[in-house]
Chains A and B, each alone.
Chain A
Amino acid sequence: MTAPRATSLKQAGPRGCSASVIIIGAGHAGLAMSRCLSERSIDHLILERDSVASSWRSRWDSLRLLTPNWLTRLPGCRYSGPDPDGFMDAAEVARFIEDYATLIRAPVQTETAVSAVTPAVDGYRIRTDRGDYSARVVVLASGAFGIPNVPAASSAFPETIAQFTTRDYRRPSDLPQGGVLVVGASATGLQLAEEIQRSGRPVVLSVGEHVRMPRTYRGHDIQYWLKSTGLLDESWQTVDDIVRARRVPSPQLVGTPERVTLDLNRLTDLGVALVGRFAGMNGRRAQFSGGLANNCALSDLKQGRLLSTIDDWIRQAGLEGSVSPAERYAETRVPASPRLDVDLASGEIRSVVWATGFRPDYSWLDVPKAFDPRGRLKHDGGVIAAPGLYTLGLTFMRRRKSSFIHGAEDDARDLATHVAGYLDGLAKPLAAAG
């Protein structure tokens, strides 16, 4: 890679500093943006609440990326280790991102928590616990995983039930002995359901809409096909119903050395009891939707369509002879009469794990124009409705891959181009006036 121009401010600790661009968050997305801005010689600063990649140090023990190492890349940096087909654990991801920050000499101001971003005449004022900053452009790269989406009905659970989010959960032995209700059928929900069931705690898994995917298909990792067919690059502008696409949970995948496929049938074989989507509480009874069969039918159909897309691509690319034959998988087995409720006072269930996803935390963003009437960030491919504000790393932000580590590169490049144009536009009237 070429030497970036930005200098490290890691130890500088400036107060009342200003920069053209301030990036909030030194995770993979913020660093990718830093690198792309450096390539354009745009002066910038990254404000990080804790340390570089710190969110990866507070994950559950068994977490591994859903993407293989060969796909794990950032602008100007690819995985170069000995195991391209492996899956990084959280500590390895943290190290990968830290090494990247060093490699690109990212101007990171660590241990600087942003408490407010407000509009100012010349851009934005950024209030932190280390003083105020100002910038013409602010990039929100604090991640999509700010606040766990725990249903309001969780407050009606009996106090005897220990409640965990996937942020508090570390390992099965932290849970009390006895039954566990796992809510959510994303990659996380299925992974935790499996390890908790294997620890001897019987799991009831609440399943809503979900995305089923085999780990490998026709001799390659599924991510290889998603990438080859162009599905990972599908644009937010052309996808059918972007609002829906942004709400789709992560595919049911797990990164293991054996490259096993993790699906609901595997969990059923282990003895996990499947129930429908968590619907709410009635007294001390947790209630579940009777629509489990349809959610499973929908995801089986979608998996079939995905595999057909891959098969068509292989045929058109003339690769039919060089990969293993097409396969179809057994449909999801749904219990004849899934349970519709569980009495939480009966002692059957001792704890609940909410694997119900996260939403970004923008409580410090004091820019009304940036939000829609329902309080959600209003952005067009990462360009926020308030001029000079950008975001990164959100689900399907500009591409299907946007929320993945390898998805940051193209998005950051696109947005850096936009930022450069925006700063140029600001500079022109000044030049004319001068």
Chain B
Amino acid sequence: MNTNTSEMTDMGMIDNGVNVEALLGAREALTQAPEAAQFRWKATSRWMNGTHTRSNCKGFFGLGEEQSHKTEFSFDTDHPEVFASEDHGATPVEMVLVGLAGCLTAGVASVAQNRGIQLNSVKATIEGSMDLAGILGIDSDVRNGFDDVQVTFDVDANASREDIEALVAQSQKRSAVYDIVTNPTNVTVKVK
């Protein structure tokens, strides 16, 4: 595939486990066939008891047809005991932080691979602050959701600090969850 041997040797030493060629190929293919780029992600959920819900992800739509994960993934969400709940799982707002962590970190790995940066470790701490006066209806001026989200990356890689900062910045630029969290989205909720 690669005709440039020296480049191949250089890049071949970098392995973050990301198939950048496949990603770039997909980008090219989806530029030519924009309709195949239309994806629809799905989750189903079932109330268990109290504030405990179990959600599952298996099928999704993309590349013009129904697709499926290798196995079905299951996630429990609940609230901790300080909320007088039974704590069967992470809170839904923590799941949002999990999504942001997963998305930004995947981006860091992909961009690093593309830029020829070997990652040794990538750790992130994500904190979202929230005033419960919002969801409890105590103060109508306080929003329900996070009022601030802080992400701190700790990256060990064969690159300068500036290159690592650029990696992290670029991963935000290309992140779906970062966009979902920072920009408004129309949401329609209805009853069947």
CA distance A147 to B162 in the complex (A): 39
Hey, which chain A residues are within 8 Å of B166, CB to CB? 298, 301
Q: Are A282 and B172 in contact (CB under 8 A)?
A: no
A305: chain B residues at CB < 8 Å are 162
Task: Decide if A18 is an interface residue (CB 8 Å cutoff).
Answer: no
A249 within 8 Å of B (CB atoms): no
What chain A residues lie within 8 Å of B183 (beta carbons)? 279, 287, 289-291
With A291-B178, A301-B162, A304-B162 known as contacts, the answer to whether A280 contacts B184 (CB < 8 A) is yes
A-B pairs with beta carbons under 8 A, tally = 38
A177 within 8 A of B: no
Is A156 an interface residue when CB atoms closer than 8 A count as contact? no
Per the CB 8 Å criterion, the residue count for chain B at the interface is: 17
Contacts of A289 in B (CB 8 A): 182-183
Check B123 for interface membership: any CB of A closer than 8 A.
no
A417 — which chain B residues lie within 8 A by C-beta? none
Query: In the complex, which residues 144-187 of chain B have their Cβ closer than 8 Å to any Cβ of chain A?
Result: 147-149, 162, 165-166, 169-170, 172-173, 178-179, 181-184
| A residues less than 8 Å from B173 (CB atoms) | 294, 298
Docked complex Cα distance between A294 and B173 (Å): 8
Residues of A within 8 A of B182 (CB): 276, 289-291
Interface of B, helix, strand, loop or mixed by DSSP: helix
Query: Per-residue 0/1 for B31-64: is the Cβ within 8 Å of any A Cβ (1 yes, 0 no)?
Result: 0001000000000000000000000000000000
**Are the CB atoms of B184 and A294 closer together than 8 Å?**
no
Give the nearest-CB partner of A293 in chain B: B172
Question: B165, B172, B181, B184: which contacts A279 (Cβ < 8 A)?
Answer: B184
Which residues of B lie under 8 Å from residue A294 when comparing CB positions?
Answer: 169, 172-173, 178
Scan B103-125; emit 1 where CB is below 8 A from any A CB, else 0.
00000000000000000000000
By a CB distance below 8 angstroms, the chain B residues around A290 are 149, 181-183
Min CB distance B180 to A, Å, is 11
Q: Is A434 at the interface (CB under 8 A from chain B)?
A: no
**Whole-angstrom CA separation of A228 from B16 in the bound complex:** 38
Task: Report the bound CA distance from A104 to B166 in whole Å.
Answer: 48
- The residues in A between 275 and 313 inclusive whose CB is less than 8 angstroms from any CB of B are 276, 279-280, 282, 287, 289-291, 294, 297-298, 301, 304-305
- The interface residues of chain B lying within 8 Å CB-to-CB of A282 are 184
Chain A residues in 8 Å Cβ range of B172: 291, 294
**B148 touching A337, Cβ below 8 Å:** yes
Q: In the complex, what residue of chain B is closest to A301 when comparing beta carbons?
A: B166
- Which of A294, A304, A374: most chain B Cβ within 10 A? A294
The chain B residue sitting closest to A282, CB to CB, is B184
**Which residues from 297 to 353 on chain A have a C-beta closer than 8 Å to any C-beta of chain B?**
297-298, 301, 304-305, 337
Q: Are B169's CB and A301's CB within 8 A?
A: yes
Q: Is the CB of B162 within 8 A of A297?
A: no
Q: At the interface, yes or no: A373 with Cβ under 8 Å from chain B?
A: yes
Q: State how many angstroms separate the Cβ of A28 from the closest Cβ of chain B.
A: 33
Structural contact, B184 and A287, CB atoms closer than 8 A = yes
Could you name 19 residue pairs across A and B whose Cβ atoms are closer than 8 Å?
A276-B182, A279-B184, A280-B184, A282-B184, A287-B183, A287-B184, A289-B183, A290-B149, A290-B182, A291-B172, A291-B179, A294-B169, A294-B173, A297-B165, A298-B166, A298-B170, A301-B166, A305-B162, A337-B148
Q: Which residues of B contact A (CB under 8 A)?
A: 34, 147-149, 162, 165-166, 169-170, 172-173, 178-179, 181-184
